[in-house]
Amino acid sequence: MVTFFAALVLLILGYIFYSKFIERVFAVDDQTPTPAYAQKDDIDFVPMSWWKGNLIQLLNIAGLGPIYGAVAGALYGPVAFIWIVIGCIFAGGVHDYFSGMMSMRHGGAQFPSLVGRYLGKHIKVFINGLSLVLMLLVAAAFTAGPAQLISQISPVSFITALVIIFAYYILATVLPVNRVIGRIYPFLGGILLFMAVAVAAALILSGKPMPNLTFSNLHPGELPIWPLLMVTISCGAISGFHCTQSPIIARTMKKETDGRRIFYGAMVIEGVIALIWAAAGMTFFNGTYGLQEALAAGGPSGVVNEISTSLLGTMGGVLAIFGVIILPITTGDTALRSSRMIVTDLFSKFFNMDGKVKILLITVPLAIPTFYMATIDYTFLWRYVGWTNQVVATVMLWTATMYLLKNYKFHWISGVPATFMTGVVSMYIFYAPEGLNMDYQISAIIGSCITVAVVVWYATQILKYRHQKQAASDFTAV
């Protein structure tokens, strides 16, 4: 229990101190009007209060990610606590803050547009495709699960449930952001928080011993921590999906100083939620081996349902069902909305029709392949979300690094985690079963070579902008 509370305190301290340091490096300015006012269109660009933005951002980026991912990550033992804390403070919080604030500074630009501006057109083309694939995969995966549960607990068939969910998706994607998302999502975000806090309180009061970090139990089991843990627990530590969602809220910010509370704050809250569920998974089933048996028997939804019902009784069961159905849906619809926004940016030069007609014409073609993928096995889809998700996160961190370099700011705050995540994704694609399924040692060597090559490129960029800064300083002096 000492480890759990220590991790919780560190997350809070990370928000209080490190987020302020990040904000100072970015250099916020409340004198410049935000896109919510400068480009107000009453559809995507609509001013909203920071607390609404925080809860909506939390719901958009979280869903069941910090619950299912944390429960699966708990199989690695108490080392999961370390990754959640370090990943959230030094990688995820930085990633989310810069993805939101850079979007806001560039008129509410989508993630691929930022990539193109700071990493070049070729990377932009790649990331456009990868981002769309990621969001459609997330939307499909986060639809299949709820539809399956609805068909199990009601007379509604799986396909009928899918049709109902997608009808809502299209409605939520087409309507102005303050109509459905702005009114309902803060309330649903509050429920997500309440569910996590209630589970934590019940777990503490249950008297079950929470695992503490020791040299003997740091990582029980045979699963290799590197790089699997960093992909298994993404939501709660660092997740590329977040940078696709941040522009939605970046277009609603009233002032720049709200960014720290909205983006970094939502990431830390998600980290707390992941911490709670990782602790619950390890504690409730008396260790990682008991958790592994429970996951094999009922999957993540079965584990979440058993924990909630056993600890919280009938209310826990209701919350579990509500969460497994509602929370992923509220992530799926914003994934589709972000897809629509990216495609709109891509083809903005070719569309001159009415805004709502244009939105509908773009949304429907995106919904069709997503609907089809939702009929595929959920676990199959989720396997491919992980690596795609973390590649997007890595590219966003490098985008932030180049932004800081070009503006002669302290680039290490994003460059170090970008290097770390490059190592993760470079090895994972070669080692993972859904990748090339190669030998662990060979995968590690190839991944290390790729990472070294990227570090060399980073070093050349540092020297380039250092020389530019010196040349500019010499010219000014003359």
Amino acid symbol at 436: L
Nearest to 393 by CA among 89, 91, 70: 91
Closest CA to 12 of 287, 360, 357, 275: 275
Question: How many other CB atoms sit within 10 Å of the CB of residue 214?
Answer: 9
pLDDT in tens, 120-166: 988 988 888 888 888 777 777 777 777 877 887 788 888 898 888 88
Both tokens assigned to 30: 């409340």
Kindly report the backbone phi and psi dihedral angles of residue 426, in degrees, each rounded to the nearest multiple of 5, phi listed first: -65, -40
Decide if 458 is inside a domain.
Answer: no
Pick from 69, 57, 56: nearest CA to 93: 57
- Determine, yes or no, domain membership for 433: no
With contact defined as beta carbons under 8 Å apart, do 211 and 77 qualify?
yes
The Cβ of residue 382 has, within 10 Å, a number of other Cβ atoms equal to 21
CA distance 420 to 416: 6
Read off the DSSP letter of residue 255. Answer: S
- Please give the span between the terminal C-alpha atoms of the chain, in angstroms, as a whole number: 62
Peptide bond preceding 227 in cis form (omega within 30 of 0): yes
Instruction: Check: CB of residue 43 under 8 Å from CB of residue 177.
Output: yes
Residue 65: closest CA among 307, 296, 203, 232: 232
* Cβ contact 436:429 at 8 Å: yes
Is 402 inside a domain boundary?
Answer: no
- Crossing angle of the two packed helices 265-284 and 288-346, in degrees rounded to 10: 150
Rounded Cα–Cα distance for residues 105 and 125 (Å): 22
CA pair distance 119, 98, nearest whole angstrom: 15
Domain assignment of residue 293, given as a range: 2-393
Q: What's the gap between Cα 424 and its chain centre?
A: 16
- Asked whether residue 473 is assigned to any structural domain, the reply reads no
Q: Report if residue 449 sits inside a domain.
A: no
Does 410 reside within a domain?
no
Distances (CA, A) of 11 to 107, 165, 211: 31, 35, 18
CA pair distance 228, 209, nearest whole angstrom: 26
CB-based contact 275:70 (threshold 8 Å): yes
Write out the E strands in 53-103: none
Q: To which residue do tokens 């991944």 refer?
A: 447
Alpha helices (H) along 175-215: 181-205
Beta-carbon count within 10 A of 176 CB: 15
What's the structural domain count of the chain? Answer: 1
Rounded to two decimals, the pTM is 0.89
Q: Name the token pair of 307.
A: 């924990």
Residue 397 · residue 91 · CB < 8 Å? yes
207: left (phi over 0), alpha (psi -120 to 50) or beta: left
**Would you say 165 and 362 are in contact if contact means Cβ atoms under 8 Å apart?**
no
Closest CA to 232 of 274, 286, 294, 283: 274
Per-position pLDDT tens, the chain of length 478: 788 899 999 999 999 999 999 999 999 999 989 999 999 988 889 999 999 999 889 988 876 778 888 988 888 888 899 999 999 999 999 999 999 999 999 999 988 899 999 999 889 888 888 888 887 777 777 777 778 778 877 888 888 988 888 888 778 777 777 777 788 888 887 877 888 888 888 888 888 887 776 655 566 667 788 999 999 899 899 999 899 889 999 999 999 999 999 999 999 999 999 999 999 998 888 888 888 888 888 777 778 878 888 888 887 777 767 776 777 787 777 777 777 777 777 766 565 545 556 666 677 777 777 787 777 765 666 667 788 889 999 999 999 999 999 999 999 999 999 999 999 999 999 998 888 889 999 999 999 999 999 999 999 999 999 888 887 776 665 5
SS3 272: helix
Tokens encoding 66: 């910090």
Is there a domain that residue 408 lies in? no
Residue 98 and residue 330 in contact, taking contact as beta carbons nearer than 8 Å = no
**Residue 117 belongs to a domain:** yes
State the CATH number of the domain containing residue 22: 1.20.1740.10
